[in-house]
């Protein structure tokens, strides 16, 4: 599972001209599900995103999580995070999970963040979405459940 996590002052997602999700201070999470993702990958992504220390403390150091600062999450499904461009110029999406697998994982990700106490707004799975944001910093972090652990 991959997540592009951006610390934002505000973010919104619009579908067919209607805002379907909007947050102020918090995290915009673009979430991609891989064909072989498991419950362990899901739990890793939920815990990592919820506890990611990217908000400043009193000393100006990135030392607080969205949970600690009362932030919210706008979660948007994005299969293109598994676009492979290593061969040619057109991305291959063979590693991206099919919608029937990816949608329940996306919903479980959102529910998992909510269970931890984060307010969660969502995009609409599979829709043509327009995402707007004001990246704070800018701070953008890649979370990958399959990345080698150091």
The answer as to whether 54 is a domain residue is yes
Active-site residue identified among 6, 55, 78, 109: 78
Domain that holds residue 42: 2-144
pTM (two decimals): 0.96
Q: Residue 100: its pLDDT value, please?
A: 98
In tens, the pLDDT along 80-118 reads 999 999 999 999 999 999 999 999 999 999 999 999 999
The answer as to whether 85 is a domain residue is yes
The answer as to whether 150 is a domain residue is no
Q: Residue 18: its pLDDT value, please?
A: 98
The answer as to whether 126 is a domain residue is yes
Active-site residue identified among 80, 93, 101, 140: 80
Per the listing, tokens 């890649």 go with 142
Q: Residue 4: its pLDDT value, please?
A: 98
| pLDDT grade for 150, boundaries at 50, 70 and 90 | confident
**Alpha-carbon distance values, 27 to 49, 52, 129 (Å):** 9, 10, 17
How many domains are there within the chain?
A: 1
Beta strands in 33-80 (DSSP E): 55-56, 62-64, 72-77
Domain CATH for 116: 3.50.80.10
Return the closest-CA partner of residue 144 out of 34, 61, 13.
34
The answer on pLDDT for 67 being more than 90 is yes
79 is catalytic: yes
6 is catalytic: no
140 is catalytic: no
The answer as to whether 149 is a domain residue is no
The answer as to whether 112 is a domain residue is yes
For 66, the token pair is 């969205």
CA dist 11 and 23 (Å) reads 5
The answer as to whether 80 is a domain residue is yes
Active-site residue identified among 6, 55, 79, 109: 79
């Amino acid at each position: 599972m991959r997540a592009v996590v951006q610390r934002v002052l505000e973010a919104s997602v619009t579908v067919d001209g209607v805002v379907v999700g909007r947050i102020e201070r918090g995290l915009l999470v673009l979430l991609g599900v891989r064909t072989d993702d498991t419950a362990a990958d899901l739990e890793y992504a939920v815990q990592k995103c919820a506890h990611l220390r990217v908000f400043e403390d009193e000393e100006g150091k990135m030392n607080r999580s969205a949970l600690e600062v009362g932030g919210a999450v706008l979660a948007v499904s994005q299969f293109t995070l598994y676009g492979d461009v290593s061969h040619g110029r057109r991305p291959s999406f063979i590693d991206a999970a099919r919608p029937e697998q990816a949608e329940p994982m996306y919903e479980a990700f959102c529910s998992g963040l909510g269970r931890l106490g984060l307010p969660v707004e969502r995009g609409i799975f599979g829709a043509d979405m327009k995402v707007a944001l004001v990246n704070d910093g800018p701070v953008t972090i890649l979370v990958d459940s399959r990345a080698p652990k150091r």
